[in-house]
């Protein structure tokens, strides 16, 4: 079965100022699938219409992250923001439904002023709540370990193995792992072993080159030709989000697709 690549329109096509306009750009570039990080600055119905008009399938959004201008990066593990997390989850569901999007990454938040055990208990409770609430909407609940060394300092979920441990603890059929190859390589390496070991838990994959988070080509630590072959060999059937920062323009950077023999 061919691998299914989704253009992350929050990071690609940034010469176009709005997400609404980037749906058409993704379609014109040959993509069938898209994802985005935070769609909340634009209207949910407008985004849904633009996606539908472009004939694209929207496969992933992140939930509302809190006040990013104040350094917040998710609320799920924050003991004093439980009410905010659960209330704003309804906003995220509204966006997902307008986009007919069936996967949502629940962001944990940063650790700077909280007790770890208290955060962990809050996180597990909120994941149980979110997995159950999203299941009622037909939306897969995902968690993603982020590296705290380069990308997200003080992020609560910064360990791949801990993420799987939390999934096992919550023990809900609607909670899965979002395996970002960029973050996983920085956090613990052993991509082959971890992809094979955790395949049953994986609900979505994202990719970018290491260390610059550029195009998933051969110009960095990760051999993506090998990774794509591995994903085919182990039978991964989900989507692969292209969450990378183009080194020049998006269009120029897309040459990696042809170079690695990828079919969109």
Domains of the chain: 4-259 (3.20.20.150)
Question: Which residues lie closer than 8 Å to 219 by C-beta, 6 or more apart?
Answer: 209
144 annotated active-site: yes
Establish whether 232 is a catalytic residue.
no
Helices marked H in 116-245 — which ranges?
116-136, 160-170, 181-187, 191-198, 224-233
pLDDT value at position 113?
83
Least Cα distance to 95 among 149, 58, 120 occurs for: 58
Catalytic residue among 45, 117, 243, 263: 243
What is the rounded distance in angstroms from the CA atom of residue 194 to the CA atom of residue 98?
A: 34
Peptide bond into 211 cis (omega under 30): yes
Quote the CA–CA distance of 76 and 5 in Å, as a whole number.
28
The predicted pLDDT at position 85 comes to 98
Are 196 and 236 spatial neighbours (Cβ–Cβ below 8 Å)?
no
CA dihedral 148, 151, 154, 159 (to 10 degrees): -30
Other residues' Cβ atoms within 10 Å of the Cβ of residue 55: 10
Contact 164, 144 (CB under 8 A): no
pLDDT of residue 263: 87
The whole-number mean pLDDT for each consecutive block of 10 residues of the chain, a chain of 264 residues, reads 94 97 98 98 98 98 95 96 97 98 98 92 98 98 97 96 98 98 97 98 98 97 98 98 98 96 90
Q: What is the pLDDT of residue 164?
A: 98
Q: SS3 of 35, please?
A: strand
């Amino acid at each position: 079965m061919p691998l299914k690549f989704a253009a992350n329109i929050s990071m690609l096509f940034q010469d176009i100022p709005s997400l609404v306009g980037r749906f058409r750009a993704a379609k014109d570039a040959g993509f069938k699938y898209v994802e985005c990080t935070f769609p909340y600055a634009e209207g949910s119905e407008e985004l849904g219409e633009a996606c539908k008009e472009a004939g694209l399938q929207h496969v992933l959004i992140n939930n509302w992250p809190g006040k990013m201008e104040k350094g917040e990066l998710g609320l799920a593990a924050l003991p004093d923001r439980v009410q905010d997390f659960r209330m704003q989850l309804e906003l995220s569901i509204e966006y997902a439904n307008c986009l007919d999007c069936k996967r949502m990454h629940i962001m944990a938040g940063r650790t700077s002023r909280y007790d770890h055990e208290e955060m962990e208990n809050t996180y597990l409770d909120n994941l149980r709540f979110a997995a159950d609430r999203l299941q009622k909407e037909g939306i897969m609940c995902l968690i993603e370990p982020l590296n705290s060394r380069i990308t997200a300092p003080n992020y609560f979920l910064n360990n791949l193995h801990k993420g799987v441990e939390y999934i096992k603890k919550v023990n809900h059929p609607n909670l899965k792992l979002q395996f970002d190859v960029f973050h996983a390589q920085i956090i613990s390496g052993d991509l082959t072993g971890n992809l094979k070991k955790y395949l049953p838990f994986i609900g979505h994959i994202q990719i970018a080159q290491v260390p610059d988070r550029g195009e998933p080509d051969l110009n960095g630590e990760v051999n993506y030709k090998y990774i794509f072959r591995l994903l085919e060999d182990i039978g991964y059937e989900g989507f692969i989000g292209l969450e990378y920062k183009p080194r020049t323009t998006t269009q120029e950077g897309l040459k990696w697709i042809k170079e690695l023999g990828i079919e969109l």
